[in-house]
Amino acid sequence: MIRLGCCIPGASFMPEGVGEVDRSTYGILSAGCRTIRDTGYDYAEAAVGLLMKMTGEEYKRAKDEGEIRIEAANSFIPGHMHISKISDEMTDFIDRAMERVSGLGAGILVFGSGASRRVPEGVSREEGLAHLTDFLTVCDEYAGKHGITLALEPLNTRETNMINTLAEGASLVRRMMAAGCDNIKLLADTYHMSREGLGEDRGENEYNEESFTVLGEAEDIIVHAHAAEPFDRTYPGSHDGVYLTRFAEALKKTAYGGRVSVECGFSDFIAESALALKFFRGIF
C-alpha cells in the first residue's frame, strides 16, 4: 500500500503572534514533523541541509526525544560541492549526512542536487557520466554502511544537464546495479516528468505523459516518488489535478508500494499541506 508523506519547508512557517515560536533549525524540523503528523500524513520528509544545520546537541536531542522522525530526506549534496571532486571533504559529508538521515529514521535519501551534478562547460557528456558513476559508487558504499537507499532523481533541463528523464535514470540505475551497487535506486518526480522533452514554448497547459510508461518498466527499481502540480510546482490539487491523477493511475498499475511525498512550494504550509493530503487520498 502506498504511503503518503510531505516535505518540511526549509523555513519557519508558524504564524506570528501564536505563542512562542522556536525558529531554530530544531524548532523548524520539530514543528514540521508535528504538523505533518497531525494533518494525517503517514510520514515526514526533510532536506539534508536542514538536518546538517542542527548542532550536535540538537541532533542528539532529536534522536533521544523522537519528536523529529522522518522516513526520507532530499536535496543531498549542497550546490558548492561538485560530484566530480570526490575529496575527503566530500566523503566526510556523505558519511555524516547519511548518519543523520539514518539516525532520524529515514531509509531513503534522494539525490537530485542539479548544480552538483551539472556537467561543466568543456567537459564531455561521457566524462560527466563517468564522474557521476564514480560518485554513485562511493555513495553506495556509505549507503550500505548506514542502511540507506539512495534514490537517483532525474531532473528537468532547467536544473541540470545530466540524467533528465526517467528512462535515463532507470538505465543508469540498472548499470550501477549490474556493477554491484545494490543501494542505488530510482525516484519518480511528477514535476520533472511532466517537463520531459518540452521546450520553453510549450503551451500553458501542456505537459508530457510519455514517461508514465517507464513507471511500469522500472517498477522494480523505483523506491520513492515526489508529487507537485506540473505547471508551477504548487501543492497537488491546486490546479485541475489531471496530470497527477493520471500519474497515480499509472503508478497503481505497477507493483509499487512505497512512498509518495508532496514536494512543492507552499504559500501557506499548514493549510495547503492539508488540501494536498485530501487530494492525495482521492487519487491514491
pLDDT of 18: 47
> Strand, coil or helix: what is 93?
helix
Specify the pLDDT at position 214: 95
pTM of the model: 0.94
Residue 12 has a pLDDT of 53
What was the pLDDT predicted at 132?
Answer: 98
Cell 523529529, located at residue: 68
Report how far residue 58's alpha carbon sits from residue 29's, in angstroms, rounded to the nearest whole number.
11
Predicted pLDDT at 278:
98
d(CA 175, CA 109): 19
Cβ atoms of 85 and 120 closer than 8 Å: no
Name the phi and psi angles at 260, rounded to 5: -130, 120
pLDDT by residue, tens only, the chain of 284 residues: 899 999 999 865 545 444 555 678 999 999 999 999 999 999 999 999 999 999 999 999 999 999 999 999 999 999 999 999 999 999 999 999 999 999 999 999 999 999 999 999 999 999 999 999 999 999 999 999 999 999 999 999 999 999 999 999 999 999 999 999 999 999 999 999 998 876 555 555 678 888 999 999 999 999 999 999 998 999 999 999 999 999 999 999 999 999 999 999 999 999 999 999 999 999 99
Angle between helix axes 56-65 and 88-103 (nearest 10 degrees) is 30
The answer to whether 168 and 154 have CB atoms below 8 angstroms apart is yes
Looking at residue 6, what is its pLDDT?
Answer: 98
Give exposure, 35-67, as e/b (b: 16+ Cβ within 10 Å).
bbeebebbbbbbbbbbbebbeeebbebbeeeee
The confidence score (pLDDT) of residue 77 equals 97
Angstrom CA distances, 181 to 188, 216, 250, stand at 19, 22, 28
**Structural domains for the chain:** 3-198+206-283 (3.20.20.150)
Q: Which residues contact 199 (CB under 8 A, 6 or more apart)?
A: none
